[in-house]
Amino acid sequence: MSDDAVDVEKVGTPEKAGETREGKSIQMIVLADTAVAAGDVSGAPPNYHIDTMGGISLLVDEDRAGDALGLAIYNSRRHNIDRIAVSIMLQRYEGMDYGDDQLSALSQLIAGAMARHGLGDDALVRLLPGAKGKLRVTPSLPPAPGVVAEGGLLGAVPMSPEQALWLFLYGETYKPRGGALKINQAMPLHAAKFKLGAPVGPNDATTTVAVEGHTYSVQTFATDLIFYEGTQYAAIQSMNAQFDDAAAEIPAKGTARTLLEASYKIAISTTEKRTGALTHTKVLRPDWRFHLVAKNGHLGPALSDNYIFKADQDYAFQIFGADTLYTPMSDQAGCERLNLTDPAFPGANALWGETYRFMGVPFDANSPWHKKAVECRIGVPLTATYTLANGATTYAVQVWTLDTLYAGPDGQIKRMSDLPMVTEAQNWAPAAPKPIPPTPPNPLPPVIPPTNAGAPRPNDINWPPRPDFDFLKDKGGSREKALGHIEYVRTTGDNIRITNEFANNIIVVNVPQIAKVPGGPKDGNVRFHRVAADPFKRLWAAWEAAGLLHLVLGFSGTFVPRTIRNNPRVLSNHAYGTAFDINVPWNGLLKIAAFVGQKGSVRELVPLANAHGFYWGGHWNYDGKGASDGMHFEWAVPR
């Protein structure tokens, strides 16, 4: 059967070629690559062959089985795949990419075949080797055709010289880890428009993700993974947008979790093609602060494994799409960003040197290219500096994950991001996608009014229950409405400097009970937000009156201008002066808070805190298994 919707040339006698399907129905469309022309595959013909120029040849009618695929594992059993598939061979020479006309022809051919046989996106597959080397039917969406707009394929609009230079440099940005740039495709346009940085993995036959009955083609970039479903090539979506920013957690399951895991797998696999197998932890760990910070801070997937680096001291160290994260081994709960580290920090050059070494780039701390990159905070180097010609002009270029540096004949180092991008990228807007299943939040204790919390229950992760109010969130502006607006600049690490008049809201509050606690100021004076100062004083008095003050074994402060430890894009309530930490050693960040009756437990203190309008950090669940911030209390509602 030929496809009347597209121009198909019959080769030989397709109605007699191949074999009978033996009564089996067509269940899939299998794509494969071949270096040979249509006339040279007659010995083992597929149903269709598409040459490099987009010419479609029908070798075997669709109501007959081709002879190109053979046996593979499907639904846990070996099958003759030709009997149940429409096979399409794409002519592709080694080292070459698919042509635009070829991809356009493929898109039309697939659409017709899917309609004729009632197939969905999950029927689009390739035969790829599994873990043991045996061929398996593997979901694999077809390579995307160019995005069509009024006036033809994108990329045809006249460009200014500056736009032409941008396009030239964007092509260089793609080369290290993304392959050849096709500016007329949706993913590169989307990544450029929304400034996602360099690709850190390809978009090819290996980058299809199937989850909850949906099949997505994905590509990882320095700050995000983007994807489209099935053959909705222009309906690009963002992985980052699938997460609830207010929760700041890594979901235990769901579409967003699967995509996040895929981003790590793809980026690490791309790294290992250069380095060989990495030997330390290289998978997503939702209970690790590095991985929470990377996810919440939009720092992209891991490019390296997590290992100990020895310099002026031992550091935990891991490179991500947009930055290198590290912490001294003496502070394993810490997390510092190398791009935000003061260059005068004693270990800074060593940490940069290790980043360069792992990325396969020579390091020179005195290089003007390195100094420019550090000044501009543009991530991680993907290449050394190299020269190449663009027309009659020779440029020096260095690709970083968040920008590409270049210098022309004048030697001045400039940023690609300062050039105007091509008009098609500026005007790009993704098509409306199909709805995808929402990612469920991690499980939390039940909500019960503080007065009904009941007696403390030892060894119960769900006691105390959550209060009948939530913490203040930025979404909807509830936090700013209650506490005021903070303007700030980042200094180093998580720390910020407040630049507006917000600090006038912070007052000195005398809390006599705090003077009795180890680590508390001897005079009992602490700084707190004026709105929450009275509830704060009343809470400590209530703890003392209830005979609970002895449970507070340490006090670790209140007002600290900084971002959230797990989310560098969001201000901490410590910056607002409405939060305080106690009993830190027994209730560490990303740990399950000490249980009732255990040393350092604060659970017995929580019902009274809730009754005074304070939310407990132990009621967050960052990893789906109870990892929280049990040291932390923050004011949320008047009580």
- 199-216: average pLDDT: 92
Whether 150 has a pLDDT exceeding 70, the answer reads no
What type of residue is 609? Answer: A
277-326 pLDDT tens trace: 999 999 999 999 999 999 999 999 999 999 999 998 999 999 999 999 99
* CA distance linking residue 352 with residue 563, whole number of Å: 24
CA-wise closest residue to 559 among 532, 528, 536: 528
Q: What count of other Cβ atoms lies within 10 Å of the Cβ of residue 337?
A: 22
pLDDT confidence of 146, banded at 50, 70, 90?
confident
- Give per-residue pLDDT as tens, 324-364: 999 999 988 889 999 999 999 999 999 999 999 999 999 99
| pLDDT in the model for residue 96 | 85
Query: Which residues have a Cβ under 8 Å from the Cβ of 328 and sit 6 or more positions away?
Result: 313, 314, 315, 316, 334
Give the helix/strand (H/E) hosting 570: strand 567-571
Q: What pLDDT score was predicted for residue 164?
A: 94
CA 564 to chain CA centroid, Å, is 18
Identify the three-state secondary structure at position 452.
helix
| Helix (H) or strand (E) run with residue 72 in it | strand 71-74
Q: Which residues pair with 86 in a beta bridge?
A: 29
Exposed, middle or buried: residue 150 (CB in 10 Å: 0-12, 13-18, 19+)?
exposed
**pLDDT, mean of residues 166-176:** 97
Report the distance separating Cα 338 and Cα 379, nearest Å: 9
Q: How many CB atoms lie within 10 A of CB 119?
A: 17
The Cβ of residue 7 has, within 10 Å, a number of other Cβ atoms equal to 11
Element (H, E) at 353: helix 348-358
pLDDT at 123: 94
Mean predicted confidence (pLDDT) in 358-376 = 97
Are 126 and 135 within 8 A, CB to CB?
no
What whole-number distance in Å separates Cα of residue 326 and Cα of residue 345?
13
CB 328 within 8 A of CB 334: yes
> Percentage of residues in the chain with pLDDT exceeding 90?
85
Higher pLDDT, 375 or 493: 375
Residue 440 to residue 522: CA distance in whole angstroms: 46
* pLDDT of res. 95: 80
* Residue-wise DSSP of 252-278: SSSHHHHHHHHHHHHHHHHHHHHH---
* Amino acid 151: pLDDT: 43
Query: With 0-12 CB in 10 A as exposed, 13-18 as middle and 19+ as buried, what is 117?
Result: middle
Residues 87-140 pLDDT 10s: 999 999 888 889 889 999 999 999 999 999 999 999 999 999 988 889 999 999
CB 400 within 8 A of CB 416: no
Strand pairing category for 48-50 and 56-58: antiparallel
- Model confidence pLDDT, tens digit, residues 10-51: 998 999 999 999 999 999 999 999 988 887 876 789 999 999
Report whether 284 contacts 250 (CB < 8 A). Answer: yes
- The answer to whether 550 and 599 are in contact (CB under 8 A) is no
Q: One-letter amino acid identity for 536? A: F
Alpha-carbon span 242 to 141, nearest angstrom: 21
Q: Is the peptide bond before 199 cis (omega within 30 degrees of 0)?
A: no
User: At 2, is the pLDDT very low, low, confident or very high (cuts 50, 70, 90)?
Assistant: very low
Name all domains of the chain by residue range, CATH numbers in brackets: 8-139 (3.40.80.10), 161-427 (no CATH), 478-635 (3.30.1380)
Q: Which residues face 227 on adjacent strands?
A: 218, 237
Looking at the DSSP bridge assignments, the partners of residue 307 are 317
C-alpha separations of 206 from 130, 139, 202, 269, 582 in Å: 12, 9, 9, 10, 48
Residue with tokens 């249509």: 38
pLDDT at 293: 95
Q: What is the mean pLDDT of residues 508-521?
A: 97
More confident residue, 156 or 496: 496
Q: What is the DSSP letter of 123?
A: G
pLDDT of residue 5 exceeding 70, the answer is: no
Q: Can you tell me which residue has the tokens 């030709």?
A: 82
As a residue count, the chain comes to 639
pLDDT at 42: 67
H or E element in which residue 349 lies: helix 348-358
pLDDT of amino acid 155: 52
